[in-house]
Every structure is written in C-alpha cells, then in structure tokens.
Structure 1
Amino acid sequence: MTDPATWVDAYVRAWHTNEPADIGALFTDDAAYFTEPYARPWRGRDAIVRGWLEREDEGGPSAFEYEPVAVEGETAVVKGVTTYPDRVLSNLWVLRLDGEGRCAEFTEYWMEQPA
C-alpha cells in the first residue's frame, strides 16, 4: 500500500488550491467519494472533481493536523482536526488506495467540536 500520509498531504494541497487537476490526481477513474457514510457517493473522477468544486471550502484560512490510526492492506483510517478562525472540526476518514497511490474509495465523517 502507498503510505496514506502521502495521499493525505496531496489531498490537503488540493483542498487549498481547488485546482481540478490536483483533485482529479487523487482518485482512480472509477472512485467513489462518500461525503457522509450513508449518502450516495460521487462516482468517478469527473463527478468527484465537480462535487468537490460545488462544495468548495469557504471557511477561510485553515490548518489541518492528522495521523493515520489504522492501516490494513489497501485500507487506511485517518484521524484529523481542521482548525478555522471560528470553529474546529474533528475528522475521521476511511480510504482505500490502489497500488499507484490513488484513492478508489473515500468516506469522510466530520463533526464540529464544541466551543
């Protein structure tokens, strides 16, 4: 498996640039991106780029700290904290990477921390 930290670092770069090429490079052609665990996923690279840009982060400057908490075969679980000027979010990501370091399936769980 590709190191999940390498993929997460590229995800964070894409999150800050919102460049379609940066976003698309993260995912396989037929990837599934679940914006919440039971939602219908964005399917395929083009749909993921489109969905990402439709929900472009407008929270202002942010910092993201993370650590992989479990890695088993192609699957990794990553715990993170996103800090904005006015709020803090806890994140849990489940991702399945292919042998070339692209994500085939991504599910995000996030919640706002109490003030």
Structure 2
Amino acid sequence: MAQDVSAWIDGYRRAWESNDPGDIRALFTPDAEYRTEPYAEPWTGPDEIVAGWLDARDDPGDTTFSWQPVIADDELAVVQATTVYSGGPVYSNLWLIKLAPDGRATSFTEWWMEQKTD
C-alpha cells in the first residue's frame, strides 16, 4: 500500500504542476469524491473534480511540497504534508486518501492549516 500511496501522490503532484485535465482524471475513479475541507460538499466524479481543481488551480512551479505517511493500509492512507508557496503562505496538510485496487482514489479529503510565520 505504501508504494500505491507514493505513486498516487506522485501523480497528484504531476497534476498539480500541469493542471492538465487528463492528469487530474487519472487520479480518480468514476464515482470518486474530493473534499477540499472535511465538511465541504464533495466534488463527485472526474468532471466535477477537474472543474473544481481548475477553478482553484495553482500556477506551475508556485509550490514546494513534502510529505510522509502517517498510516497506510489496504483501505485508507493518511498523509501529513507541508506546502510552501513561493512568496506566500506555508500550509500544514493532512490528507485522507481511499485507494481502489487499481491505484486511483475513490475518496480524497484534505485538511489545510496556514502556519504562522513571524
């Protein structure tokens, strides 16, 4: 499962940098749900996920990203990460990713908290 999570996050970063609809679609099953916050209404299915992603997209090269797994088993991966925007905020991230047997996500939920930088 750890290799599956790593491969999925590699694909997520590729999509994050390219904003290519094909890269985004490749990450999710047809019935996948993507929540930008735990209690947000999900984007459901690849069409909504692509549209929501592109509405909130970052510019390529605008971020650096590091991560480590908290837990990964056959049903769920929990990932802790840090996103640093060039010239901007730094975010602590917590991701919950449910992967299908084919390596695509059936569910993705993110928590993000801006770090205080003094």
Q: Same fold (TM over 0.5)?
A: yes
Point out 4+ residue stretches in structure 1 off by more than 3 angstroms.
none
| Identity across matched positions, percent | 51
1:17–1:73 distance in 2 versus 1, CA, 3 Å: same
Report the AA paired with residue 12 of structure 2.
Answer: Y
Uncovered stretches (5+) of structure 2, i.e. residues with no partner = none
CA distance in 2, matches of 1:41, 1:59: 24
Match of 1:97 in 2: 99
Structure 1 residues 44-71: Cα deviation after superposition (integer angstroms, max 9, x where no partner)? 1111001100111249621100011101
**Structure 1 97/59 Cα, relative in aligned 2: closer, same or farther at 3 Å?**
same
- Aligned pairs, number: 115
Matched ranges for 1:37-52 at <5 A? 37-52=38-53
**RMSD value over aligned CA atoms?**
1.5
**Residue matched to 1:36:** 37
Report the equivalent of 2:83: 82
TM-superposition CA deviations, 1:54-101 (whole Å, max 9, x none): 111249621100011101222100110011122211000001000100
After TM superposition, the score normalised by the length of structure 1 is 0.94
Letter in 2 for 1:65: S
Structure 1 spans left out of the alignment, 5+ residues: none
Task: Give the 5 Å matches for 1:1-115.
Answer: 1=1, 3-58=4-59, 61-85=62-86, 86-115=88-117
- TM-score in terms of structure 2 length: 0.92
